[in-house]
């Protein structure tokens, strides 16, 4: 029986970080994936080895057990593993089958055949993609099509998705070796908007109001994220910088068919420019009255 040096299989040092292990596995998985070498048993075996190595080294608990075993593996082989009886599920989780003789021997419950309940099926690697959405697309919902392996997958993205949110499509990642496939992980990047600023499910925008409307009150037209405009009432005597709240005019709440955030309007009062002599006189008259 040959000792399986998982660090050597992945081409990383024993002090490699989790990120280094992840990158090494991805590179090798692409190179040796069975889909690229159909019918090639050597490539299939190589893919099995790197998948098995990744399943152990990418999990801190499993990696610790493996490291503890590694330096003394011959000792355990010669002594019949007394006091070192592990089920395969201790290393890989529930399930079994498709693992090397090395793990069947060392973690199958003593020298000899593994436990029947411990046959290992290795879950496939998760596939990760990143997409960019406009704020409008995040508000309305949209759809994207992804190519994973030889399969095209259409994913409907619900309204209200947030920036940096990760969507998981189960079973649509890399193929497992004798087990279930991995998942498709979609990281969403919502682009900045020219008018609206998103804070959680609320939207903020600045609106310009002329001096006379701010003093006397009136109505102004504002845009909404839905593309339409609405008229709102500006109370008489509104100060510059005042914030008005419009209920339910913000972003939809993700996975809710009815709830939405609010819209917050910051008032920016615009002073009149290029006053005529008559206008200046009227302002001077008003100032004298105050």
Domain 197-270 fold: HSP40/DNAj peptide-binding domain (2.60.260)
Q: Is pTM beyond 0.85 here?
A: no
| pLDDT of res. 63 | 83
**For range 221-249, the mean pLDDT:** 94
| pLDDT of res. 2 | 62
pLDDT tens column, 18-59: 999 999 998 898 888 777 777 788 888 888 889 888 888 888
CATH number belonging to domain 127-190: 2.60.260.20
**For range 279-287, the mean pLDDT:** 92
Whether CATH 1.10.287.110 fits 6-118: yes
Domain range annotation of the chain: 6-118, 127-190, 197-270
User: Is the Cβ–Cβ distance between 21 and 58 less than 8 Å?
Assistant: yes
Most confident of 58-67, 89-98, 213-222: 213-222
Sheet containing 243-246: give its strands across: 197-199, 202-210, 263-270, 243-246
User: Do 127-190 and 197-270 share a fold?
Assistant: yes
Examine the pLDDT at 275 and tell me if it is beyond 60.
Answer: yes
Examine the pLDDT at 86 and tell me if it is beyond 50.
Answer: no
Greatest distance between any 2 Cα atoms in the chain? 107
| pLDDT of res. 148 | 84
| pLDDT of res. 125 | 83
Indicate the average pLDDT of the chain. 82
């Amino acid at each position: 029986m040959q000792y399986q040096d998982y660090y050597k299989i992945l081409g990383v040092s024993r002090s490699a970080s989790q990120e280094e292990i992840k990158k090494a596995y991805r590179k090798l998985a692409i190179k040796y994936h069975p889909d690229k070498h159909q019918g090639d048993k050597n490539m299939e075996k190589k893919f099995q080895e790197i998948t098995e190595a990744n399943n152990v080294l990418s999990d801190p608990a499993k990696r610790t057990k493996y490291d503890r075993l590694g330096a003394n593996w011959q000792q355990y082989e010669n002594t019949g593993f007394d006091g070192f009886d592990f089920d395969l599920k201790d290393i890989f989780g529930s399930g079994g089958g498709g693992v090397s003789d090395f793990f069947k021997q060392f973690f199958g419950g003593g020298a000899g055949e593994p436990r029947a309940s411990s046959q290992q099926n290795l879950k496939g690697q998760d596939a990760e993609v990143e997409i960019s959405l406009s704020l409008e697309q995040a508000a309305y919902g949209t759809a994207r099509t992804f190519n994973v392996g030889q399969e095209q997958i259409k994913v409907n993205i619900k309204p209200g998705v947030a920036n940096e949110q990760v969507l998981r499509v189960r079973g649509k990642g890399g193929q497992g070796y004798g087990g279930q496939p991995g998942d498709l992980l979609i990281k969403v990047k919502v682009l900045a908007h020219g008018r609206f600023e998103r804070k959680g499910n609320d939207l903020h925008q600045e609106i310009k109001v002329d001096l006379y409307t701010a003093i006397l009150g009136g109505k102004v037209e504002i845009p909404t994220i839905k593309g339409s405009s609405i008229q709102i009432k500006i109370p008489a005597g509104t100060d510059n910088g005042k914030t008005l709240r419009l209920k339910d005019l913000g972003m939809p709440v993700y996975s809710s068919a009815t709830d939405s955030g609010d819209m917050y309007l910051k008032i920016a009062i615009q002073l009149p420019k290029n006053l005529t002599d008559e206008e200046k006189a009227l302002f001077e008259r008003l100032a004298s009255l105050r």
